[in-house]
Amino acid sequence: MFEFAAELSCRTGLLRGVRVLRALCTPSGAAPAGRFQFRRFVGAGLVCLLAVVMLGATPASRFDKVGHEMMCACGCGQILLECNHVGCPDSDRMIGELRDQIAGGGSDSAVMSWFETKYGATVLAAPIRGGFDNVAWIAPMAVFLLATIGTGLLVRMWSQRSAQRRSVSAAGPVLGGDAVRERIRRETEY
């Protein structure tokens, strides 16, 4: 969401972003008043967010940000701005190119595309080209969400079954006080 907002603000400018948001927040036909209020609130929040994101984007911080999202092409496996080999054949030149590209006024994604075209996809520190690259981001989140939901459902199912069993055995014999105490002690040890 935040990245989308940042990208939107970079690509279209804040004012156009505000117009988009205003269009999004305009009530359509006979929408209930509460819904309108909510959308206006969300819209206002997004505008503020866009403004905040835009305020911080200085060339120096952009250089630092983009430079940390690319790898040095020398094969050291280090982030471009962190490559510190003596006599590295690539990092100085690449850092110079990065300064030029940022000074040229291109967006972050345009700068990274330029580097990708010149040095190949491995120069990007994370896959961001769309298509199959998206799988890299989606798979961990999908597995995490599915596992969380699955675990939640499993726990709920087990607890319901246990509740049913407890209600059936409620009429059964009651354990002695010592046995209960011993069981509590055993089960509350960490």
Partner 1 sequence: MRLHPMPEFGSFTLLLALALSAYTLVMGGIALWRTRGMAAGVDGGAGRLGETARRAGISSFVALSCAAFALVWGSFTNDYSVSYILHHTNRDLNTAYKFSALWSGQEGSLLLWAWLLSAYGFVLRIRHKVDVRLSAFASTILAGIQVFFLLLLNFAAPPFAIQPGPVATDGFGLNPLLQYPEMVIHPPMLYLGYVGFSVPFAFALGALMMRYPGEKWIHITRRWTMVTWLFLTCGIFLGAHWAYSVLGWGGYWGWDPVENASLMPWLTGTAFLHSVMMQEKRGMMKSWNVWLIFSTFMLTILGTLLTRSGIVSSVHAFAQSSIGDWFYGFILIVFAVCLFTFFKQRDHLKSENRLESLVSRESSFLFNNLILLAACFTVLWGTLFPVLSEYVQGTKVTMGAPFYNRVNLPIGLFLLFLTGIGPLLAWRSTSLRSIRRNFILPSIAMGVALVVLLGVGVRPWQAGDDWQATLFSLVTFTLAAGVITAIAAEFLRGANVVATQTGKNLVASTVLLVRRNTRRYGGYVVHFGIVVMFIGIAGGAFNQSHEQEMGFGDTLKLGPYRLVCKSYTQDSNKNYDTEYALMDVFRGSKKITQLAPEKRFYIASQTSSTMVALHSTLASDLYVIYEGQNPDTDRPIIKVFLNPLMNWIWIGVLIVVAGTFLALVPNLARTSARAAAETPVIEAEVHHV
Query: Are 80 and 71 a contacting pair, CB within 8 Å?
Result: yes
Q: Which one-letter DSSP state was computed for residue 124?
A: B
Closer to partner 1 at the Cβ: 36 or 49? 49
**137 contacts: CB under 8 Å, gap ≥ 6:** 127
Which candidate, 114, 76, 80, places its Cα nearest to that of 94? 80
Q: Which one-letter DSSP state was computed for residue 172?
A: S
CB of 48 to partner 1, least distance (A): 8
- In the numeric block, the tokens 């700068």 are attached to 111
Distance CA 98, CA 125 (A): 15
Say whether 65 sits in a helix, a strand or coil. helix
Closer to partner 1 at the Cβ: 26 or 148? 148
Long-range contacts of the stretch 26-35 (C-beta < 8 A, 24+): none
Distance CA 145, CA 137 (A): 13
Query: Cα-flanking dihedrals φ and ψ of residue 41, to 5°?
Result: -65, -45
* Span 39-98, contacts to partner 1 by CB under 8 A: 52-53, 55-58, 61-62, 64-65, 68-69, 71, 75-79, 82-87
CB of 32 to partner 1, least distance (A): 31
Closer to partner 1 at the Cβ: 26 or 159? 159
Closer to partner 1 at the Cβ: 39 or 65? 65
* Residue 124 near partner 1 by CB under 8 A: yes
* Residue 188 near partner 1 by CB under 8 A: yes
* Span 131-150, contacts to partner 1 by CB under 8 A: 131-133, 136-137, 139-141, 143-144, 147-148
- Lookup: tokens for 150: 């699955």
> Using CB under 8 A, which of 42, 163, 175, 179 touches partner 1?
163
Closer to partner 1 at the Cβ: 4 or 190? 190
Instruction: Kindly state the helix (H) or strand (E) to which residue 3 belongs, with its residue range.
Output: helix 2-12
Closer to partner 1 at the Cβ: 23 or 187? 187
Binding residues for partner 1 (CB under 8 A): 2, 52-53, 55-58, 61-62, 64-65, 68-69, 71, 75-79, 82-87, 120-127, 131-133, 136-137, 139-141, 143-144, 147-148, 151-152, 154-156, 158-159, 161-163, 165-166, 181-182, 184-190
